[in-house]
Copies of this chain bind each other. A is one copy, B any other.
Amino acid sequence: VSTSAPRARNPRGEGRRLREEIAQAALDLLDEGGDDAVTLRAVARRVGITAPSIYAHYSGRDAILLELADAAFAELAHALEDGRHGRGDPADRLGDVCRAYLRFAREQPRRYRIMFGGVWDAGQALERGDITAEQARAVGARALDVLEAAVRDLGTSTDVTADAVVVWLGLHGLAHQRLVAPAFPWPDDIEDRLIGVLTGLDPART
């Protein structure tokens, strides 16, 4: 609640610009205070408009959170792709992808949390029609695809999809717990150690 100059309204026909301002404000609030901080009223305050003005652009609070999660998934997929395009043998590249995943979670903890933290329930969003079945399937699929490709390149997997899921789960375990329990006495080499186990994917066992 600052006393700064009142916001200039957008010129006629440019009302859509407000949508971008809302999205940016929501992202800022997410990064600063986590998903709880992203309330309709807080977003409106940040933009400098009244809360009801948001309804012209979003159906409600959930629609904003969904868009934030969607954007974060796209970012993660991008980060993983960068990791996969490094040099080295397939095992190295899978390791790079894993490290890129963990780096994203470490550097963008609030965004990571809104994706995988159980903040919103995809199944429930589907029921309420906030999301289409297609969207529900697509969310995160691109990021998992990158992991699958890296696992496939190893050439030791008999079920690439399942093994990619295994790797993802291991990474998520560390990413998530480091996020919610930073005070835990994490071993110094926990990242390398975990990645070693996950990418060891012993072909004799499957």
Q: A interface vs B, CB < 8 Å?
A: 113, 116-118, 121-123, 126, 136, 159, 161-163, 165-166, 168-174, 176-177, 179-183, 186-187, 189-190, 193-194, 196-198, 200-202, 205-206
Contact = CB atoms under 8 A, between A and B. Distances in A.
A189 B121 CA distance: 24
A81 to B, nearest CB: 21
B136 A180 contact: no
A190 B188 CA distance: 28
Contacts of A193: 159, 162-163, 166, 206
Given A200-B205, A202-B202, A169 B165 contact: no
B190 A197 contact: no
Contact of A181 (B122, B177, B179): B122
Nearest to A188: B162
A173 B178 CA distance: 12
A179 B116 CA distance: 11
Given A197-B197, A200-B200, A183 B136 contact: yes
Given A197-B201, A198-B197, A118 B176 contact: yes
Contacts of A172: 173, 176-177
A141 B200 CA distance: 28
Given A117-B180, A173-B172, A187 B159 contact: yes
